[in-house]
Amino acid sequence: MNTKNNKVKREFLFTQNDFLFIKELVYNVSGIHLSEVKQDMVYSRLAKRLRALNFKSFKEYCQYLESNFDKEVGNTINSITTNLTHFFREVHHFDTIKNTIVPELVRTQPRGKRIRIWSAGCSTGEEPYSTAMSLVDSIPNISQWDVEILATDLDTNVVEHCKAGVYEKRRIEPIDERNVKRWFKPIEGKRERVIIDDELKKYITFKHLNLMDKWSFAGPFDIIFCRNVVIYFDKPTQQKLFARYHEMLAPGGYLFLGHSEQLGAYQKYFDVLGKTTFRKK
């Protein structure tokens, strides 16, 4: 089927100018770079908003965005962003926490050490919850430690999902049976859903954050997760972000990236410890 026929069959008129308007807006607000090949994705994601607002074309929606920017831009960004993850995704990072980072902290730091971890782009929460489980598993006296995991995301909807800690049973399949029994409780009347125990939630603070904005926290962090996030930014934006992460990391702190991401020119400020695992020099 050719592109012309695809456009004819679309429910809403979506022109190149409409796409360019949305592309520029998304970039200016979030730093996310939408290439030309993302046009169909933009159409399908935002079509739901047009239906909800009873618009007949993307031109109407773009005009609405201009005149109701503060009210609607959050919905636009939430629609565009992708939230695809699972518990213990890229398990080698969590093995590094349990087998390398935590033993090092226990060996070199006094009792009651402060541990700070940032999950930047936490999506629906599987990453920070997996991190919390890894810490509890590997620190026998964790109650004597000052542990905090900051979990942030651009999408306000997924931040609320994270806070609730409710997941479909099929989503927790990658988790070993011991941790499932320990941390996940059934929900009365909802047999296919479970909720995370408050005892695990207490280690995590969830916040909405646009990485392009000023950060309202100071660090330093022992570990920063930024996995499958920078692939949505252009190269100059990536380098600016890596510079800010470098500044926020404690000396010798760790940065985890996604499986297809690299530091580029900022590599010189980090040692490579393994696949997408970097340590601040």
Q: Which are the catalytic amino acids?
A: 45, 153
Phi, psi of 140 (to 5 degrees): -60, -40
Could you give the angle at which helices 39-53 and 16-30 cross, rounded to 10 degrees? 90
**Tokens 């933009």 -> residue:** 42
Letter for the amino acid at 242?
F
Which tokens is 83 given?
A: 């939230």
Q: How many other C-beta atoms can be found within 10 angstroms of the C-beta atom of residue 166?
A: 15
- The answer to whether residues 150 and 117 touch, using CB atoms and an 8 Å cutoff, is yes
3-state secondary structure of 209: coil
The secondary structure of 63-129 as a DSSP string is HHHHHTHHHHHHHHHHHHS-----TTSSHHHHHHIIIIIHHHHHHHS-TT-EEEEEEET-TTTHHHH
Letter for the amino acid at 180?
V
